[in-house]
Amino acid sequence: MAAPTSCTLIISIYNQAAQLRRVLESVARQSNCNFDIVIADDGSADAVEPVLNAFRTQHPAFSLTHVWHEDRGFHKTIILNKAYRAARGEYLIVIDGDMLLHDRFIENHLRHARPDRVLCGYRGVKLGEQITAELLSGERHFSQNMFTLSWQALRGQLEEVSRGLVINNRTLRRLVARRSKRLSGCNFSIHRENLFRVNGMDETILVYGFEDFELGHRLGLAGIRLTDVSRCCNTYHLDHGKRAADDTGTLHTIKQNILGSRALQCRYGLETLDHGSTVEDFLTGEQPA
């Protein structure tokens, strides 16, 4: 099956200028550079523009668009929908702004793209605090060599080193890769028309923890199969400390309510509809229309 003819890489950020500089360096090293870039900026107040301007100067062949809105709290769903509208590619690859990309990241996402799939690559190798600090300061040059990564893992400088392996054979990959049934927004790809078919992200979800899960559920209702491409579409996750613990009991209940929904579209997403689900449906447990 032919690969998509056009592609957009969407990078979601919030106050991550230093991380974005390193992420864009990995973007520029891609084996396939036939894509444009959209930065989905959820109200950053740090120096993002100088980073983008430097990238534009050093890599003029790339088309880079910066989509920003004022910081009003966690509005990632809203800024991502703006980025989806701004994207020019027929195929969208979405990552978080703290993910360094393997040199063949774009190539492999496009290689495995299918009209009935959303590809989920998850977080990949977890870089430790020291390596992350040295990368961000420019003291260290990052190596994707598996022998180097394994040595660093033995020294306790990173975790999940096996996620750095690139296994293109699907049968072999199934032996070691996770088989998750959830969408992970930090690393996924999808045909643009499928995202628009379910009306994109639910903009009424303004808290972290289940916005990706909810989108994945609606895609499943639309017949778009979640496919694991970890150990193939690899990333290296920059350390940023631990997020405060979520209320796992409440989150579990919300996810169960989401799974009970039969709404293919959200009401407030890429467009405002007169039907579809909203976050209130999952907080109350009432079945969305």
- Percentage of the chain beyond pLDDT 90 is 83
Is residue 245 very low, low, confident or very high in pLDDT (cuts 50, 70, 90)? very low
Express each pLDDT in 136-174 by its tens digit. Answer: 999 999 999 999 999 999 999 999 999 998 988 777 877
CA distance 41 to 71: 9
Q: What is the DSSP string of 37-96?
A: EEEEESS--SSHHHHHHHHHHH-TTS-EEEEE----SS-HHHHHHHHHHH---SEEEEEE
Name 272's bridge partners. Answer: 268
Spell out the domains of the chain, with CATH numbers in brackets.
7-238 (3.90.550.10)
Query: Quick check: 28 and 58 in contact, CB under 8 A?
Result: yes
Q: What is the mean pLDDT of residues 66-76?
A: 96
Express each pLDDT in 2-12 by its tens digit. Answer: 678 899 999 99
Kindly report the CA angle at 116 between 112 and 121, in degrees rounded to 5? 45
Express each pLDDT in 77-126 by its tens digit. Answer: 999 999 999 999 999 999 999 999 999 999 999 999 999 999 999 889 99
Q: What is the mean pLDDT of residues 197-204?
A: 98
Instruction: Identify the weakest region by mean pLDDT among 15-29, 136-150, 275-289.
Output: 275-289
pLDDT reading at 1 higher than 60: no
Query: Quick check: 202 and 77 in contact, CB under 8 A?
Result: yes
pLDDT reading at 241 higher than 80: no
> What's the predicted TM-score (pTM) here?
0.94
Q: What does the pLDDT read at residue 242?
A: 64
Q: What does the pLDDT read at residue 154?
A: 96
